[in-house]
Amino acid sequence: MFVPRQQYPRELKIAVMREIDSGKSTAWVARNYQLSPKRLEVWKGEWRAKGELAFPGTGIRLQPKLDGEKIAELERKIGQQAMEIDFLKKALRRFREKALPIVGNGVTGSTSKSARPRKRRQP
């Protein structure tokens, strides 16, 4: 499955760099904007090298488009998984209600001994 690389708008990158330049820590900015500190370090290097000319490009964040067929398929999958979860919950409830016999030391639950089969006499 193809997952496109995440792209961030130029305005966001510049706003983040200005916050770091204003004295806020990289860790705080990373948490606040939910970004990786490593990504901020890369952006900081480009910001320091090029200043306001950093981060050229369109600045458009690409969102994957889902057509109606894909949405319907995903909704069917969700419905099927919901049914499976309900089934498993019911089965678990039944197992909890009806306790299995306890078997200790590998012996069967029966305490009576079985009778030996009698040998038949041949006439």
- 2 plus 19 within the same structural domain: yes
**Total domain count, the chain:** 2
- 21 plus 50 within the same structural domain: yes
Largest Cα span, the chain = 114
Using CA atoms, how far apart are residues 93 and 86, in angstroms rounded to an integer?
11
- Full residue range of the structural domain in which residue 85 is found: 65-98
Structure tokens given for 44: 């900081």
Angle at 40 between CA 21 and CA 44, to 5 degrees: 50
pLDDT greater than 60 at residue 67: yes
- Per-residue pLDDT of 5-49, as tens digits, reads 788 888 888 899 999 999 999 999 999 989 999 999 999 898 888
pTM: 0.44
- 57 plus 1 within the same structural domain: yes
What CATH code is carried by the domain that includes residue 42? Answer: 1.10.10
- 69 plus 92 within the same structural domain: yes
Within a domain: residue 104?
no
Within a domain: residue 113?
no
pLDDT greater than 60 at residue 86: yes
> Can you tell me which residue has the tokens 């678990």?
92
Residues 6 or more apart whose CB falls under 8 angstroms from that of 1 comprise none
Task: Say which residue, 59 or 32, is predicted with more confidence.
Answer: 32
